[in-house]
């Protein structure tokens, strides 16, 4: 590794130096690089090699003294832990080329490390966004004794490409003038077949945008007003407005939280541009998580309201906060955030609090009775791959 002080300053400034460096790295990408990747005897050897690379990156990341305890909740150590767990489960069961699995496992696990530098919700005017920053950060933390040059370039490219742009993104200045453009990354071979390393990393990204943890993960992002994306346009997310217990067919003023959750659940299909190449165990795993998330979403439907009135009293703010701190994220920043959110939640209208306290209670039930047993069972074959730098034993907070 090189001295990182200037690296971080240039990165945060979205400097021309970093933009040029990124362009140079992207220009090195070529499909033929896969032919220069080491040969793995089987899927297990690819996973073990991937574990070594991930451990090296996280160990070197510690040396850079990046404080993951102060990352914004929702993209912190809890998210990183689940990305690793989901990647290990998914690629342990998926039938695919060991080389493709190697990159899917590494890049799926590490794809959001850039959020340690770049605020995920403040990047609309940047070229070097969290995905590009993450690629650079991982590249900085790679050692030559764990990857060759072709592997290094592909890891960089796949992490940068995990943000799934469907179209050209225009970057505008304060006056609304277009000053730069971001083009979608290459994701298909010339014959139209998927370049699997890119798609595999995106699959892991999608898996933590579903299931019961995603309810808590999204909730943790609401302590500060920010912009979010509804699939077509950006909209302001303010707590009071976002928490309205509305599940509309066609929202006309930005998504509510439950509509936002539904949007992500609905993207977990092969009819979605994000899921159109899903196959095998990815379909099975995404469906398990999707059904869990939809049960929370559906509790807001009118036909379920009377049922929930009768059988579910709801959860206290303290119990929901404990769940967020123990299982979704875990840091001093998260504790501070849950305290702020608790006060904000208490100021909501009674009906809104009633709906969400019952939904949060259902979320905990699904987590305890379905999600936790599923994950623990799937991790049994990988007991010797569950300890990582920064995160420790990733199974302890499941």
User: What are the residue ranges spanned by the domains of the chain?
Assistant: 5-393
DSSP structure string for 237-253: E-HHHHTS----SS-SS
User: Of the candidates 103, 209, 194, 203, which has an alpha carbon nearest to the alpha carbon of residue 157?
Assistant: 103
Amino acid 305: pLDDT:
57
Q: What is the rounded average pLDDT for all residues in the chain?
A: 90
Which of 175-179, 251-255, 307-311 is the least confident region?
A: 307-311
Q: What is the pLDDT of residue 1?
A: 45
More confident residue, 278 or 117: 278
Give how far Cα 341 sits from Cα of 64, 74, 131, 255, Å: 31, 14, 28, 19
Q: What are the start-end ranges of the E strands in the chain? A: 169-172, 178-182, 226-229, 234-237, 387-388, 392-393
pLDDT category of residue 381 using cuts at 50, 70 and 90: very high
Whether 307 shows a pLDDT value over 80: the answer reads no
SS3 assignment, position 74: coil
pTM of the model: 0.92
Average pLDDT over residues 323-346: 91
Give the distance from CA 210 to its chain's centroid: 10
Task: Report the percentage of the chain scoring pLDDT > 70.
Answer: 92
Q: What is the pLDDT of residues 178-223, one digit of tens each?
A: 777 888 999 999 999 999 999 999 999 999 999 999 999 999 999 9
Q: Are 390 and 71 in contact (CB under 8 A)?
A: no
- To the nearest 10 degrees (0 to 180), the angle between helices 350-366 and 281-298 is 150
Determine the longest span between alpha carbons in the chain, in angstroms: 62
Our CA dihedral for 232, 214, 46, 61, rounded to 10 degrees, sits at 90
Predicted confidence (pLDDT) at residue 26 exceeds the cutoff of 90 = yes
Closest CA to 356 of 308, 323, 306: 308
**338 CB neighbour count, 10 Å cutoff:** 25
Residue 226 has a pLDDT of: 60
Confidence category of residue 120, pLDDT binned at 50, 70, 90? confident
DSSP 112-146: TGGGGTS-TTS-TT-SS-HHHHHHHHHHHH--TTT
Q: Does 261 score more than 70 pLDDT?
A: yes
Angstrom distances, CA of residue 295 to CA of 93, 155, 211, 359, 363: 26, 36, 10, 9, 8
Q: Which band of pLDDT confidence, cut at 50, 70 and 90, is reported for residue 377?
A: very high
């Amino acid at each position: 590794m090189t001295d990182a002080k200037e690296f971080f300053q240039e990165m945060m400034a979205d400097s021309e130096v970093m933009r040029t460096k990124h362009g140079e790295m992207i220009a090195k990408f070529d499909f033929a690089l896969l032919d220069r990747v080491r040969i793995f005897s089987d899927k297990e050897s690819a996973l073990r090699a991937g574990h070594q690379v991930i451990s090296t990156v996280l160990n070197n990341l510690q040396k850079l003294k990046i404080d993951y305890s102060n990352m914004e909740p929702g993209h912190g150590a809890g998210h990183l832990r689940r990305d690793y767990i989901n990647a290990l489960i998914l690629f342990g069961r998926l039938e695919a080329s060991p080389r493709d699995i190697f990159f899917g496992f590494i890049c799926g696990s590490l794809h959001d490390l850039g959020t340690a530098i770049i605020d995920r919700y403040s990047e609309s005017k940047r070229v070097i966004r969290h995905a590009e920053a993450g690629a650079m950060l991982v590249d900085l933390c790679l050692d030559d004794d764990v990857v060759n040059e072709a592997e290094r370039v592909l890891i960089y490219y796949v992490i940068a490409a995990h943000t799934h742009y469907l179209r050209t993104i225009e970057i505008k200045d304060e006056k609304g003038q277009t000053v730069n453009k971001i083009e979608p990354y290459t994701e298909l071979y010339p014959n139209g077949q998927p370049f699997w390393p890119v798609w595999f990393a995106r699959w892991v990204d999608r898996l933590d945008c579903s299931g019961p943890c995603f309810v808590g993960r999204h909730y943790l992002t609401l302590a500060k007003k920010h912009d979010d994306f509804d699939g077509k346009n950006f909209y302001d997310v303010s707590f009071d407005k976002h928490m309205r217990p509305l599940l509309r067919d066609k929202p006309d003023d930005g998504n509510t939280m439950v509509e936002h959750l539904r949007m992500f659940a609905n993207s977990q299909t092969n009819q979605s541009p994000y899921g159109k190449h899903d196959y095998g165990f990815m379909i099975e795993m995404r469906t398990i998580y999707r059904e869990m998330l939809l049960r929370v979403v559906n509790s807001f439907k009118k036909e379920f309201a009377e049922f929930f009135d009768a059988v579910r009293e709801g959860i206290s703010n303290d119990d929901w906060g404990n769940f967020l701190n123990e299982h979704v994220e875990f840091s001093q920043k998260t504790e501070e955030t849950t305290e702020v959110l608790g006060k904000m939640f208490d100021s909501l209208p009674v009906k809104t609090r009633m709906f969400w306290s019952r939904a949060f209670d259902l979320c905990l039930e699904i987590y305890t009775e379905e999600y936790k047993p599923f994950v623990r069972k799937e991790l049994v074959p990988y007991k010797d791959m569950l300890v990582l730098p920064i995160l420790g034993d990733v199974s302890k907070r499941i």
